């Protein structure tokens, strides 16, 4: 709109109010254009706030905008405007902004002596057709396009620097403290107080935050007059008037546009949010930027009201009036005030599809639980059913609930390398922003990832098939094993869980084992071999029912069996006997893989080598992905006889996530960390046994630890384990329950778990057990 030094003393009667815009005679302009620019045509005055603006149509129907600056206009500021447009023309020539038209001698300006002394600087620009958005409706599509254009202009200006870009500009919301003096010119007491309240709150609460936001040279004045629209239905046709260009937080660029393009609308915010969504699509906003947009928008309105009051009061003859803007601006400020910050943030975050959270009212947990019960399968299991955790976000080893409480996540192996790991996030986000499709195309990441997995597996386990979950991997492994062996029986551990497909469930005594599946009790380190632990007996049992073993499936962490430590050599022995009976050995690494047990794979830690490996859960840190790896020999009959394909399995985004997870495991030495932190944690848990007889065996490897709870005198073991887990949850520590009797505390944190995290867990467990023991006694 206009520039001026906003020093507090000059503020009350700003200098610009004294300077009417120039009024050069038409014939003088005609002569200069012809002589200096070689443009012939009659100028037509098109108004303007500070410059004299003329449109000239040449003989070939080309239109130009001639801008004649006031005598005394700071030359640095004029140069800033020109340099900005030249930079955009170079960086993003496709953008619809005015082009600088050079003189015949190649200059960008020409000076003419002014009548009262000094000189007027003339500049010529291409003329952009279109009408101001002020005169049109504001359909969402148009607002979105305006937001996109503005962001593209800001993108083009990101690398631009100019020594005058730091100049103070009255209309810049950061000048609110100086503009505050202008409120004295607002006649109506009620209005004045409202406007002062908005300015004061902004100055104390918001202004200090702005310095930390992304800043650059911006247009700074995307008003309803400066955004041009054209066509039918209306599309965005251009952005004009680079007279307020300055270095400022980008949030100001956007907030000014959100207010000034919706000036006077009765319900401006939803329309403004559309513009923000368009901007965000091109130039992503940070949470901090989003958080200040509503406040900047309101202070822009309040400051404009104050400046306009002063300006009307002191307006010099010839200076343009802004009276027509006063009432619409006031209406708009009232609309935003009535909406309030909470609703405004919610609307904005919804328009940007930002996760529910900061600045929004999260639906109450109780009402969500009710809706969950209706919307999802009834009885669908919840973690801590007695007191479910309403999660909002995660970071590293921590989870945060909707009330902002934090929890040490000692349970979660989906975010294997930590919640919201930045390297994995960026890999996913960048690939999503580039390409995601199915796997019938040639692309490199799927091959690179398959090779990376093969390089970390022994022998010739080098052929990969990608799927989307652990269950799918198990299902596929089962099909492959049956094809290869021609058999249809399976051995699994006694309480195994291998998935939710028909085959996965059939292979899971944990849920509903099938007739062709023999359950095998695992001989552990601690006890004499239990009945049913002899694989030959199990194979004979299958044979008696008419089945020969196609495969032995085993989760090396023996998770659902209660996190058991098999006797050394036991799993190798079972594998050997199954192979002797013509079956394959399948390591289900959905739980134990990717460094969990201190080695890449659980089978390495347990001393056997499988024929097929299934993977899932942790492999992409939460991005859905599963895989089967096997040998060329085993896959051949399956490849020859099926037309297997998975649309999403191994898609480019999943593979990038998988590669990034491997990077993090290696760069952050997470296998070694799992081994070291896990070993010390187990020792400390065992040390608790002397004080807490409820602690039975402490089992597991790496960061997969089971603490069996025994409760010989009261209540029954399962109840105690559940009480301990709940007491820990109330203390901000999350652990799971595992085993056929659900009496084993399952400790399986993200692998970036440190000794400090482990100490915290031990201290809370110690305290929770002491409390429970005391309450049992009472």
Whole-Å CA distances, 301 to 259, 268, 380, 611, 778: 7, 12, 50, 70, 65
Task: Name the segment binding ligand PMP (CB under 6 A); options: 144-152, 493-501, 637-645, 745-753.
Answer: 493-501
Q: Does 492 bind ligand PMP (CB under 6 A)?
A: no
Of residues 263 and 623, the one with the C-beta less far from ligand PMP: 623
Of residues 402 and 557, the one with the C-beta less far from ligand PMP: 557
Of residues 167 and 746, the one with the C-beta less far from ligand PMP: 746
Compute the distance between CA of residue 72 and CA of residue 119 in angstroms, rounded to an integer: 7
Of residues 223 and 599, the one with the C-beta less far from ligand PMP: 599
Span 100-159, contacts to ligand PMP by CB under 6 A: none
> At its nearest, how many Å lie between ligand PMP and the CB of residue 723?
24
Taking each continuous run of H as one helix and of E as one strand, the counts in the chain are: 25, 26
Task: Name the segment binding ligand PMP (CB under 6 A); options: 50-58, 67-75, 189-197, 588-596.
Answer: 588-596
Q: Does 616 bind ligand PMP (CB under 6 A)?
A: yes
| Nearest residue to ligand PMP, scored by beta-carbon proximity | 470
> At its nearest, how many Å lie between ligand PMP and the CB of residue 722?
20
Residues sharing a CB contact under 8 Å with residue 506, sequence separation 6 or more, in sequence order: 512, 513, 514, 516, 517
Q: How many CB atoms lie within 10 A of CB 433?
A: 10
Span 538-577, contacts to ligand PMP by CB under 6 A: 555, 559
Among 173, 394, 499, 739, binds ligand PMP (CB under 6 A): 499
Of residues 151 and 477, the one with the C-beta less far from ligand PMP: 477
Q: How many CB atoms lie within 10 A of CB 641?
A: 9
Q: How far apart are the first and last CA of the chain?
A: 76
> At its nearest, how many Å lie between ligand PMP and the CB of residue 241?
56
Element (H, E) at 645: none
Task: Name the segment binding ligand PMP (CB under 6 A); options: 17-25, 255-263, 492-500, 722-730.
Answer: 492-500
The interface mask with ligand PMP, positions 500-529, x = CB under 6 A, is x-----------------------------
Q: Does 590 bind ligand PMP (CB under 6 A)?
A: yes
Q: Does 588 bind ligand PMP (CB under 6 A)?
A: yes
Of residues 223 and 560, the one with the C-beta less far from ligand PMP: 560
Of residues 742 and 776, the one with the C-beta less far from ligand PMP: 742
Of residues 377 and 403, the one with the C-beta less far from ligand PMP: 377
Whole-Å CA distances, 319 to 17, 92, 312, 315: 7, 35, 10, 6
DSSP of 592-612, one letter per residue? TTTTTTSSSSHHHHHT---SE
Size of the site for ligand PMP (CB under 6 A): 15
Quick one: tokens of 359? 């600045």
Compute the distance between CA of residue 82 and CA of residue 78 in angstroms, rounded to an integer: 6
Of residues 78 and 551, the one with the C-beta less far from ligand PMP: 551
Residues sharing a CB contact under 8 Å with residue 393, sequence separation 6 or more, in sequence order: 355, 357, 399, 400, 419, 420
DSSP of 128-190, one letter per residue? PP-EEGGGS---HHHHHHHHHHHHHHHHHTTT---TTTT---TTSGGGHHHHGGGGGG---HH
Span 412-471, contacts to ligand PMP by CB under 6 A: 469-471
Whole-Å CA distances, 533 to 36, 565, 684: 99, 14, 31
Strand, coil or helix: what is 429?
helix
Q: Does 630 bind ligand PMP (CB under 6 A)?
A: no
DSSP of 242-287, one letter per residue? -TT-EEEEHHHHHHHHHHHTSTT-SSHHHHHHHHHHHHHHHSPPPH
Of residues 243 and 658, the one with the C-beta less far from ligand PMP: 658
Look at residues 602, 639, 606 and name the one whose alpha carbon lies nearest to residue 617: 602
Among 67, 162, 180, 617, binds ligand PMP (CB under 6 A): 617
Among 269, 497, 608, 753, binds ligand PMP (CB under 6 A): 497
Q: Does 591 bind ligand PMP (CB under 6 A)?
A: yes
**Which residues in this chain contact ligand PMP in the complex, by CB under 6 A?**
469-471, 474, 497-500, 555, 559, 588, 590-591, 616-617
């Amino acid at each position: 709109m206009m520039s001026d030094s906003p020093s507090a003393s000059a503020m009350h009667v700003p200098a610009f109010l004294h300077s009417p815009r120039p009024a050069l005679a038409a014939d003088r302009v005609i002569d200069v254009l012809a002589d200096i620019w070689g443009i012939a045509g009659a100028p037509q005055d098109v108004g303007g706030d500070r410059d004299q603006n003329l449109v000239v149509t040449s003989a070939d129907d080309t239109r130009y905008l001639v801008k004649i600056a006031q005598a005394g206009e700071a030359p640095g500021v004029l140069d800033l405007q020109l340099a900005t447009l030249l930079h955009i023309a170079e960086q993003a020539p496709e953008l619809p902004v005015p082009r600088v038209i050079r003189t015949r001698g190649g200059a960008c300006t020409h000076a003419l002596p002014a009548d009262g002394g000094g000189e007027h600087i003339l500049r010529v620009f291409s003329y952009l057709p279109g009408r101001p958005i002020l005169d049109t409706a504001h359909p969402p599509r148009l607002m979105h396009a305006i937001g996109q254009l503005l962001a593209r202009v800001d993108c083009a200006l990101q690398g631009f620097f100019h020594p005058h870009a730091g100049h103070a500009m009255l209309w810049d919301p950061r000048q609110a403290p100086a503009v505050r003096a202008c409120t004295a010119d607002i006649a109506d007491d009620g209005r004045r107080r409202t406007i002062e309240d908005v300015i004061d709150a902004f100055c104390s609460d918001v202004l200090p935050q702005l310095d930390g936001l992304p800043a650059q040279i911006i247009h700074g004045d995307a008003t309803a007059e400066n955004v041009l629209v054209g066509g039918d239905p209306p599309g965005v046709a251009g952005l004009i008037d680079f007279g307020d260009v300055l270095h400022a937080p980008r949030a100001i660029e956007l907030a000014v546009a959100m207010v000034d393009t919706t000036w006077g609308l009765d319900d401006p915010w939803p329309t403004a949010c559309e513009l923000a969504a368009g901007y965000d699509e091109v130039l992503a906003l940070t949470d901090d930027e989003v958080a200040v947009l509503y406040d900047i928008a309101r202070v822009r309105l309040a400051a404009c009201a104050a400046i306009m009051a002063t300006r009307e009061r002191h307006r010099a003859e010839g200076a343009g009036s802004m009276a027509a803007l006063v009432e619409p601006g006031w209406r708009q400020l009232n609309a935003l005030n009535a909406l309030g910050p909470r609703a405004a943030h919610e609307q904005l975050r919804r328009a940007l599809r930002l996760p529910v959270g900061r600045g929004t009212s999260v639906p109450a947990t109780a009402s969500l639980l009710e809706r969950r019960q209706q919307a999802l399968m009834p009885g669908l299991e919840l973690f801590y059913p007695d007191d479910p955790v309403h999660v909002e976000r995660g970071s590293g080893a921590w989870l945060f609930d909707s009330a902002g409480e934090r929890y040490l996540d000692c349970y979660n192996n989906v975010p294997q390398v930590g919640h919201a790991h930045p390297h994995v996030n960026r890999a996913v986000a960048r690939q999503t922003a580039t390409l995601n499709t199915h796997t019938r195309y040639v692309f490199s990441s799927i091959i690179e990832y398959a090779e990376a997995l093969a390089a970390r597996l022994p022998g010739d386990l080098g052929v990969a098939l990608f799927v989307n979950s652990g269950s799918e991997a198990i299902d596929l492994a089962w099909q492959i094993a049956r094809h290869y062996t021609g058999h249809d029986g399976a051995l699994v551990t006694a309480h195994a869980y291998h998935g939710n497909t028909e085959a996965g469930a059939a292979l899971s005594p944990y849920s509903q084992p099938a007739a062709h599946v023999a359950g095998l009790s695992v001989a552990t380190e601690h006890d004499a071999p239990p009945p049913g632990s002899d694989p030959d007996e199990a194979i004979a049992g299958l044979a008696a029912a008419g089945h020969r073993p196609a495969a032995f499936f085993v989760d090396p962490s023996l998770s659902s069996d209660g996190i058991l430590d098999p006797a050394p050599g036991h799993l190798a022995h079972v594998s050997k006997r199954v192979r002797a009976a013509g079956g394959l050995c399948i390591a289900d690494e959905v739980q134990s893989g990717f460094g969990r047990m201190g080695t890449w794979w659980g089978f390495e830690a347990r001393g056997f080598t499988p024929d097929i490996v299934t993977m899932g859960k942790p492999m992409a840190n939460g991005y859905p992905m599963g895989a089967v790896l096997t040998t060329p020999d085993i896959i051949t009959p399956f490849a020859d006889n099926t037309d297997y394909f998975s649309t999403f399995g191994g898609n480019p985004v999943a593979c990038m996530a998988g590669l990034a997870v491997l990077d993090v495991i290696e760069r952050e030495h997470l296998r070694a960390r799992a081994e070291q932190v896990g070993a010390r944690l187990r020792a400390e848990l065992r040390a608790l046994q002397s004080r807490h007889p409820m602690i039975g065996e402490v089992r597991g490897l790496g960061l997969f630890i089971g603490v069996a709870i025994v409760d010989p005198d009261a209540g029954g073991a399962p109840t105690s384990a559940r009480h301990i887990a709940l007491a820990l949850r109330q203390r901000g520590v999350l652990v799971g329950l595992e085993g056929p009797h659900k009496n084993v505390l399952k400790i399986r944190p993200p692998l970036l778990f440190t000794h400090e995290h482990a100490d915290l867990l031990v201290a809370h467990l110690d305290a929770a057990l002491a409390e429970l023991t005391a309450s049992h006694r009472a």
